[in-house]
């Protein structure tokens, strides 16, 4: 366990040094507690980065399996290395591809969307058929570092304004989606949990 703790610290330090966005501590606590409480045993993650959240989710319980998708080769290779170091190759499946090109048959208890923030609706619609009845779709970064709460004119960059608009559209999409009960949590960078009715 001490070994695991220092390996996790190493992954977090690497992410910081290389400027790779990974879940913040209270976000990952929320996610792993949710997994534990809801007895989640299978997870599909969109956006592996270097495998940090996939490893943290798999470590909640030895019965949990995670499939995770990453389109950036360097990050995918780093995730592969990290998953091997944790000896989780039999429980974490890494897919190197753009998630929008991936079609899966398998069903999961939890789908965790943590990839390109402008494309969350697409990811949701593409993978919702992979969700078990009663399963949950969880999305991170709905506050987008506080920018979503700001007035548009306060955001100087045009690109960022566009991105924030898309995150707001995604929030409305979740609120209006009658097939799911969605709750929003002011934890980490803003997390939604959508439970399939
Ligand atoms: N879930 C990771 C964690 O907390 O450890 C962090 C993921 S990071 C916020 C988002 C990742 O999604 C990036 O590494 C990015 O390359 C990847 N990504 C973005 N769009 C993607 C897509 N369409 N398909 C696959 N990966 C994508």
The structure's pTM equals 0.96
Assess contact for 126 and 44: CB atoms under 8 A: no
* Distances from the Cα of 101 to the Cα of 50, 51, 96, 177, angstroms: 20, 20, 10, 24
| Residue pLDDT tens, the chain, 197 long | 557 889 999 999 999 999 999 999 999 999 999 999 999 999 999 999 999 999 999 999 999 999 999 999 999 999 999 999 999 999 999 999 999 999 999 999 999 999 999 999 999 999 999 999 999 999 999 998 888 888 888 888 989 899 999 999 999 999 999 999 999 999 999 999 999 99
Whole-number Å distance, alpha carbon 119 to ligand 1 midpoint, is 11
Q: Is the CB of 53 under 6 A from ligand 1?
A: yes
Q: Name the DSSP class of 170.
A: H
pLDDT value, residue 147 = 87
* Distances from the Cα of 110 to the Cα of 46, 131, 154, angstroms: 11, 7, 36
Structural domain tally of the chain? 1
User: Which residue out of 71, 104, 167 has the highest number of ligand 1 atoms within 8 Å of its CB and is therefore the one to mutate?
Assistant: 71
pLDDT value, residue 2 = 56
Nearest to 130 by CA among 45, 191, 64: 45
- The counts of H helices and E strands in the chain are 6, 7
Burial (CB < 10 A; 0-12, 13-18, 19+), residue 126, is: middle
Q: Which residues contact 113 (CB under 8 A, 6 or more apart)?
A: 46, 47, 120, 123, 124, 137, 138, 139, 140
Q: Is the CB of 71 under 6 A from ligand 1?
A: yes
Q: Is the CB of 102 under 6 A from ligand 1?
A: no
d(CA 137, CA 7): 28
pLDDT value, residue 1 = 58
pLDDT value, residue 81 = 98
Q: Is the CB of 114 under 6 A from ligand 1?
A: yes
Range of the domain at 122: 2-196
Q: What is the CATH number of the domain that holds 158?
A: 3.40.50.150
pLDDT value, residue 4 = 87
Q: Is the CB of 99 under 6 A from ligand 1?
A: yes
């Amino acid at each position: 366990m001490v070994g695991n703790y220092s390996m996790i610290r190493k992954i977090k330090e690497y992410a910081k040094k290389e400027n790779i966005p990974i879940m913040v501590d209270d976000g990952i606590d929320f996610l792993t507690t949710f997994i534990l409480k809801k007895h989640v045993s299978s997870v599909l993650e969109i956006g592996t980065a270097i495998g940090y959240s996939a490893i943290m989710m798999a470590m909640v319980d030895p019965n949990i399996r995670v499939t995770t998708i990453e389109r950036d080769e360097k990050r995918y290779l780093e995730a592969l290395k990290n998953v091997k170091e944790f000896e989780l190759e039999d429980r974490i499946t890494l897919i190197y591809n753009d998630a929008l090109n991936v079609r899966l048959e398998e069903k999961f208890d939890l789908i965790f969307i943590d990839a390109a923030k402008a494309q969350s609706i697409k990811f949701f619609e593409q993978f919702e058929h992979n969700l078990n009845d009663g399963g949950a779709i969880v999305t991170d970064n709905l506050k987008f570092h506080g920018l979503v709460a700001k007035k548009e004119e306060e955001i100087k960059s045009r690109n960022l304004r566009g991105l924030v608009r898309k995150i707001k559209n995604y929030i409305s999409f979740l609120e209006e989606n009658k097939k799911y009960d969605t709750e929003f949590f002011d934890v980490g960078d803003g997390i939604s949990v959508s439970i399939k009715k």
